[in-house]
Amino acid sequence: MLNLAPEPKSPQALHRVTLHGPADAARTVLLVHGFGTDQTIWHDLLPLLDPALRVITYDQAGCGQCDPSVFVQHHYLNLHGFAKDLATLAQSLDLRDAILVGHSFGAMVGVLAALQVPACFSRLALIGASPRYLDDGDYHGGFQEQDIEQVYRMAMANYSGWADAYAPVAVGQANGPDLAERFARSLKAIPPERALTILCAILQSDHRQSLPQLKQPVRILQTQRDSLVPLPVAEYMARTLPHAELRLLDAQGHLPHLTAPDQVAAALRDFLH
């Protein structure tokens, strides 16, 4: 009897991998988006990168056009599930010495994945990254327990309303309502139950112990004022990662690749070569 079961999809198909630039480029860059967004968040940055680069974008589990079958909730109660996806994807793409650029939770997913498959990535650029959001003694993560509990209550009670309120804070008030509305639409495109699972995985994370293990060179990009990731977090990461440098951007908000892509491109230019 013939087996008519469909062929399993490749990681590239499941995560809607998109390739930009020449396939035979000498250097490959992999972009990992953050919470509330998908690979389209890189739209304004991509034209500013060197056209000689091969750039790869994809949608993380539960986001964008990623196959819905990927998001099995109990696999994504922490960041390790997302990191496993990225490591598997990097291997399926046969990456060697690629450069990883990650934003926010995508940055920490990148760190964890690079620890799993170090040969795939030669260096990492981390935008608005945080290993832990909750304050802990001398560590100033930016949130206290009551802050996180309030986020959960508001998001669970009215996710759409929470997204509308959260977006201007994340984007930065100085960057105007249009970009905040764009980010709010991106947030609300994610089914609330998936978004809440990812949000919990992020806010409950603590990956400070992983930082000293990363041997690749790292460039940390941090805006002058970020309501979600304060400057002391970026400074902590620069001290704790073995081979890291901190670059401050003359910008505000948590999504500089959306609000100030020219500055992000300039800060990455020499690092990508």
Tell me what the mean pLDDT of segment 168-180 comes to.
89
Q: How far apart are CA 163 and CA 235, in angstroms?
A: 29
**Cα torsion 235, 101, 109, 34: sign:** positive
What does the pLDDT read at residue 146? 95
What does the pLDDT read at residue 173? 81
pTM of the complete model beyond 0.75: yes
DSSP 102: E
What does the pLDDT read at residue 118? 98
64-117 tens-digit pLDDT: 999 999 999 999 999 999 999 999 999 999 999 999 999 999 999 999 999 999
Whole-Å CA distances, 173 to 33, 227, 228 = 22, 10, 13
Active centre residues (catalytic): 104, 226, 254
Render 159-215 in DSSP notation, one character per residue.
HHHHHHHHHHHHH-GGG-HHHHHHHHHHHHTS-HHHHHHHHHHHHT-B-GGGGGG--
Q: Are strands 121-127 and 98-103 parallel, antiparallel or unpaired?
A: parallel
Angle ∠(125,129,135) on CA atoms, nearest 5: 155
Token pair in block for residue 177:
């309502």
Q: Are the CB atoms for 251 and 227 separated by under 8 Å?
A: no
Cα maximum dimension of the chain: 66
* Number of Cβ within a 10 Å radius of residue 85: 22
Query: Which has the closest alpha carbon to 69: 16, 113, 19?
Result: 16
More confident site: 2 or 229: 229
pLDDT band at 4; cut points 50, 70, 90: low
